[in-house]
């Protein structure tokens, strides 16, 4: 295969220019894309200067080629008649497709080859010439539109018998670095060239300082998990320890019963909770703890009248996808109670959790059946609502929300409970930002904590603030398989105000 670089440089040496790169390429039978690449490379190295041109060519369409082969529709129609003969439209409809017949009748009428009525067509012309085919044949022979009458070109284009194709080509002349032979440019200066002195006389590729670095496809930290890390940093800075939470399945005992949530509570219905079928039950609930919880629910213990119903172990054993991370808090408090009982010393503790929880609820544009719960908890003597409000205020202040409000609420496991509200700068309005409360004695003392120990806690989600921060309207644009990778790659790193 002739070397394309050399062919172009030779032609320029002999003739000084190549007026039409397309004709040159066809004359040398070069492959168009490769030839275009060679021209661009000669341009980059300043061997040539390219001038853009474009021309138009007439291209026969499929219909046009068919007309040349078997005649234009009007000519084929008239050829079905003897001069003076008449045929009904119904007969003609059997001989020609409807659309083609319509065009054929219109054109034959224009040419005064036929007369027609609603029901019939009569040939009135003696001799007919298929000028359409003559024009198409001439255009096929010379496809330069300028060589044919503009009106004819337009008419045949309108009839979709031809199409006008724009062809780009270049005028080529010598560039500032033109040489009749291409001197290979060397991209890298090597140790060998230095040691052997072969670097001398070599032409080095100009270093393109404007060239963009090769995009390295790296992994990216999901924006939701960037936010999780920021929340984690705040809680660690506030002296909280992270709880173990890496088990999504828990028993109803820990998800509900140990949190003093009655077995008839609606949250324990199939409509709100995912129950496991295999393994359906958990058989590893501490026996003594069970007894304590049973007493708390049935009443008469821990200074409470309880819910006064027959508490069932079978109900407590059912395995669920945990509906919150508060069971993790309960387990930590049980462990704290065990340690206190063993050592005789109670040590105040601050724990937090941030992990996935599951709710069998209707999904919508902002809710899936899972979300990440963030929960903070402090266990100490003499804690009160002011401590709870204070730690919540400090936590949200570090998230950029200073002016928070509290509203009484209800949770089965905390009393008093409060919903938390704050003014959101991004949404420019007050939004619900979480929930909180003081764990009930029926829960804490059933777990075995000393009577004077109180525990305050609060919770929020990760997805809600993330959707607000990243201005995501549909949660499926934040998490899940439909999220475009670009979202991971292009989001600014989440940093706190």
Query: Given the rule CB under 6 A, which residues bind ligand FB9?
Result: 326, 359, 373, 375, 396, 399, 401, 411, 414, 431-437, 457-461, 464-465, 468
Q: Which residues are CB-neighbours of 313 under 8 A, at least 6 positions away?
A: 290, 294
Q: For ligand FB9, give the closer residue by CB, 64 or 441.
A: 441
**C-beta of 303: minimal distance to ligand FB9 in Å?**
21
Q: What is the DSSP letter of 388?
A: H
**C-beta of 324: minimal distance to ligand FB9 in Å?**
6
**C-beta of 328: minimal distance to ligand FB9 in Å?**
11
Q: What is the DSSP string of 7-73?
A: HHHHHHHHHSEES-HHHHHHHHT--HHHHHHHHHHHHHTTSEEEEEEEEEEEEE-HHHHHHHHH--H
For residue 361, the tally of other CB atoms under 10 A from its CB is 13
- CA distance readout (Å), 108 to 7, 72, 214, 426: 54, 10, 64, 71
**C-beta of 362: minimal distance to ligand FB9 in Å?**
11
CA distance 190 to 198: 10
**C-beta of 455: minimal distance to ligand FB9 in Å?**
9
**C-beta of 443: minimal distance to ligand FB9 in Å?**
10
Continuous segment of H or E residues that includes residue 110: helix 98-110
Gyration radius of the chain's alpha carbons: 42
Q: For ligand FB9, give the closer residue by CB, 64 or 422.
A: 422
Q: And the tokens for 431?
A: 């939004």
Q: For ligand FB9, give the closer residue by CB, 111 or 273.
A: 273
Q: For ligand FB9, give the closer residue by CB, 145 or 459.
A: 459
Alpha helices, DSSP H only, in 250-352?
252-255, 287-298, 313-317, 326-343
Q: For ligand FB9, give the closer residue by CB, 111 or 414.
A: 414
Q: And the tokens for 429?
A: 């309005």
Q: For ligand FB9, give the closer residue by CB, 263 or 414.
A: 414
| Residue nearest to ligand FB9 according to CB distances in the complex | 459
**C-beta of 437: minimal distance to ligand FB9 in Å?**
4
- Under 8 Å between Cβ of 385 and 438: yes
Q: For ligand FB9, give the closer residue by CB, 28 or 367.
A: 367
């Amino acid at each position: 295969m002739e070397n394309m670089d050399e062919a172009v440089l030779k032609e320029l040496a002999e003739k000084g220019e190549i007026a039409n790169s397309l004709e040159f390429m066809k004359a040398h039978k070069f492959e168009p894309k490769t030839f275009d690449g060679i021209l661009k490379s000669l341009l980059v190295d300043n061997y040539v200067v390219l001038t853009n041109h474009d021309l138009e060519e007439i291209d026969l369409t499929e219909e046009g080629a068919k007309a040349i082969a078997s005649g234009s529709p009007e000519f084929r129609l008239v050829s079905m008649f003897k001069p003076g003969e008449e045929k009904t439209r119904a007969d003609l409809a059997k001989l020609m497709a409807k659309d083609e017949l319509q065009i054929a009748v219109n054109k034959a009428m224009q040419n005064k080859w036929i007369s027609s009525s609603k029901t019939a067509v009569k040939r009135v012309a003696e001799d007919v010439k298929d000028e359409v085919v003559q024009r198409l044949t001439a255009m096929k022979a010379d496809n330069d539109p300028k060589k044919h009458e503009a009106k004819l070109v337009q008419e045949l284009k309108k009839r979709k018998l031809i199409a006008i194709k724009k062809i780009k080509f270049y005028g080529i002349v010598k560039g500032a670095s033109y040489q009749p032979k291409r001197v290979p440019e060397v991209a890298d200066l090597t140790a060998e060239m230095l040691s052997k002195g072969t670097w001398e006389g070599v032409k080095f590729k100009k270093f393109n300082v404007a060239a963009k670095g090769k995009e390295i496809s790296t992994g990216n930290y999901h924006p939701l998990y960037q936010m999780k890390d920021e929340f984690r940093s705040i809680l660690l800075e506030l002296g909280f320890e992270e709880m173990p939470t890496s088990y999504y399945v828990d028993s109803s005992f820990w998800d509900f019963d140990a949190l003093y949530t009655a077995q008839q509570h609606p949250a324990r219905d199939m409509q709100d909770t995912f129950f496991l079928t295999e393994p359906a039950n958990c058989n590893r609930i501490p026996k003594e703890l069970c007894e304590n919880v049973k007493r708390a629910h049935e009443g008469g213990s821990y200074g409470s009248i309880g819910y006064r119903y027959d508490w069932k172990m079978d109900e407590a054993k059912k395995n669920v996808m945990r509906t919150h991370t508060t069971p993790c808090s309960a387990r930590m408090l049980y462990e704290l109670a065990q340690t206190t009982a063993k050592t005789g010393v109670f040590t105040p503790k601050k724990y937090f959790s941030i992990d996935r929880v599951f709710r069998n609820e209707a999904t919508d544009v902002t809710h899936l059946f899972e979300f990440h719960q963030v929960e903070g908890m402090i266990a100490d003597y003499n804690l009160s609502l002011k401590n709870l409000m204070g730690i919540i205020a400090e936590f949200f202040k570090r998230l950029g929300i200073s002016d928070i409000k509290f509203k009484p609420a209800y949770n089965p496991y905390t009393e008093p409970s409060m919903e938390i509200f704050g003014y959101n700068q991004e949404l420019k309005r007050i939004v619900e930002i979480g929930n909180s409360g003081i764990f009930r004695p029926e829960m804490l003392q059933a777990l075995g904590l000393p009577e004077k120990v109180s525990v305050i806690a609060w919770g929020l989600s990760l997805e809600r603030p993330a959707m607000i921060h990243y201005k995501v309207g549909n949660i499926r644009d934040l998490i899940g398989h439909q999220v475009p990778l670009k979202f991971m790659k292009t989001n600014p790193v989440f940093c706190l105000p």
